[in-house]
Amino acid sequence: MPAIAPSVLAADFANLQRDIAMLNSSEAEYIHVDIMDGMFVPNISFGIPVCEAIHRHATKPLDVHLMIEQPDRYLPAFRKAGASILTVHYEACPHLHRTVQHIKELGALAGIALNPHTPVELLSEILSDVSLILIMSVNPGFGGQKFIENSYHKIAKLDQLRKEKGYTFKIEVDGGVNLDNAALLAQSGADILVAGSFVFSAGDPSGTISKLKNVSQV
């Protein structure tokens, strides 16, 4: 059964405390926090003070997804703002090994995100160093986009590599996740499903989180 990480990007920002309370009492394992800088991706979401405010109310670990250029500049600040997992983009890090070491020195779990066009094979020399690989199943920048079908194949390939080498990182999938694809994503090897608009646009967000977990029972 996969873990669910609802993305607060789709929450009601004027009622964030209410939405975090809903996540606290739901079956979600993580709270996914999307940080966008208007440079790496063509959209700006929110920053460190909002992450801090979420952390103050959350009883679950914050899974912080940094869609920003030169993320090293902000790693200590996001760690201080409550990030348990810090995920940076492969495409934003020319010195990825150094960035991963930096995250670990800060006491957080290190994750690497891959854009839809980036092959998983490019990570072969760093897979043993990380706790999480995030497969983007939409182009990063916006919630509510259509799931890219090729993501199943990437997840399966990464899962295969993990099994072959005995690595322990978790596989997370992010973008367009819903009840139509959750089961196959889990079967393909995804351990954590991120879901934003599908959860928060539902009449019963907490029940929807439970359904995502259960439909994807393998």
Which residues in this chain contact Zn ion in the complex, by CB under 5 A? 34, 65, 174
51, two tokens: 């992450």
32 is in an annotated binding site: yes
Shortest spacing between CB 40 and ligand DX5, in angstroms: 10
User: Is 12 part of the annotated catalytic residue set?
Assistant: no
Q: Which is nearer to Zn ion, 34 or 91 (CB)?
A: 34
Shortest spacing between CB 7 and Zn ion, in angstroms: 6
Question: Could you give the C-alpha distances from 179 to 31, 140, 184, 212, in angstroms and in order?
Answer: 19, 21, 10, 6
Say which of 34, 37, 63, 191 is annotated catalytic.
34
Query: Which amino acid, residue 81?
Result: A
Q: Can you tell me the distance from the alpha carbon of 86 to that of 109, in angstroms, rounded to the nearest whole number?
A: 6
The answer for residues whose C-beta is within 8 angstroms of residue 13's C-beta and 6 or more apart is: 46, 50
The answer for residues whose C-beta is within 8 angstroms of residue 12's C-beta and 6 or more apart is: 18, 19, 200
User: Is 180 part of the annotated catalytic residue set?
Assistant: no
Q: How many CB atoms lie within 10 A of CB 176?
A: 23
The entry of ligand DX5, Zn ion, none near residue 141 (CB within 5 to 8 angstroms by kind) is ligand DX5
Q: Which residues contribute to the annotated binding site for substrate?
A: 7, 65, 141-144, 174-176, 196-197
Q: Which residues contribute to the annotated binding site?
A: 7, 32, 34, 65, 141-144, 174-176, 196-197
Q: Which residues contribute to the annotated binding site for a divalent metal cation?
A: 32, 34, 65, 174
Catalytic residues: 34, 174
